[in-house]
Amino acid sequence: MTLDAPSRRWTHEPPAWRAEPRALVVTTAPKTDFWRHTHYGFVRDDGHAWLEERRGGFLATVKVTGAYVAQYDQAGLMVRLDAEHWLKCGVEFVDGVQQASVVVTRGQSDWSVLPLAGAPSTVWFRVARHADAVAVWYSADGADFTLLRLAHLPDRGVAELGPMCASPDGDGFTARFDEYDVRAAEQPIALHPPT
């Protein structure tokens, strides 16, 4: 699967973007986000996600590079069933620190973060889906992956998958997605690093 596939669609088209077979460069719009209710009390569903339908299980990997500037600038991957059921993972800039971040939403959003040492310019993320389970890993080098989250999303047979970015508080930034790879994976998720 490639990032320039004609079947992909934007949840909300960003002000500037360019898609190549294995790369996507996006400039986010200001004040965009994906979030539902928890703690902050608002619903936002106006971030940018470049999605394509996937049936059954899958394993997806992407290299994410971002010029993070403002609080909550974020870039990574999204698995989406609908506006109330989705997962996003990636780098999120929080209080001046790049965090490996996962938000799981089933009506209400939850959020987990892990500080990334040394403010890396690039981080890889890997997402696996099998039935109603989704696992997320991250890597500083694209070779050694660490489990970040195992979560539940309802199994509807079809999900949308692809790069995601947003600027909840800021005026926008540029994110680049490279080395995108997705393949069918019908076996149960192995929580040791997948290959």
Q: Is residue 4 domain-resident?
A: no
- The verdict on residue 90 lying in a domain is yes
70 belongs to a structural domain: yes
| pLDDT at 5 > cutoff 80 | no
**Domain of 145?**
9-184
- Alpha-carbon distance of 73 to 139, in angstroms, equals 19
| Residue 30, in any domain of the structure | yes
**Residues 173-192: pLDDT tens digits?**
999 999 999 999 877 777 76
1 pLDDT above the threshold of 60: no
Question: Domains in the chain: how many in total?
Answer: 1
- Residue 193 within any structural domain of the chain: no
For every residue of the chain, DSSP letters joined together read: --TT-TT-EESS--SEEEE-SSEEEEEPPTT--EEESTTT--EEE-SEEEEEEEES-EEEEEEEEE---STT-EEEEEEEEETTEEEEEEEEEETTEEEEEEEEEESEEEEEEEEPTT--SEEEEEEEEETTEEEEEEESSSSS-EEEEEEE----SEEEEEEEEE-SSSS--EEEEEEEEEEE--SPPPSSPP-
Which amino acid appears at position 63 of this protein?
A: K
Residue 195 has pLDDT above 90, yes or no: no
CATH number for the domain including 129? Answer: 2.60.120.200
Predicted local distance difference test score (pLDDT) of residue 190: 74
Whether 164 is in a domain gets the answer: yes
Give the residue, 2 or 63, on which the prediction is more confident: 63
Q: Which residue has the higher pLDDT, 106 or 195?
A: 106
For residue range 88-142, what is the model confidence (pLDDT) as tens digits? 999 999 999 999 999 999 999 999 999 999 989 899 999 999 999 999 999 999 9
User: What pLDDT shows up at residue 121?
Assistant: 84
- Asked if residue 194 is part of any domain, the answer here is no
pLDDT at 149: 96
The answer on pLDDT for 3 being more than 90 is no
Residue 194, pLDDT above cutoff 70: no
pLDDT at 7 over 60: yes
Domain assignment present for residue 38? The answer is yes
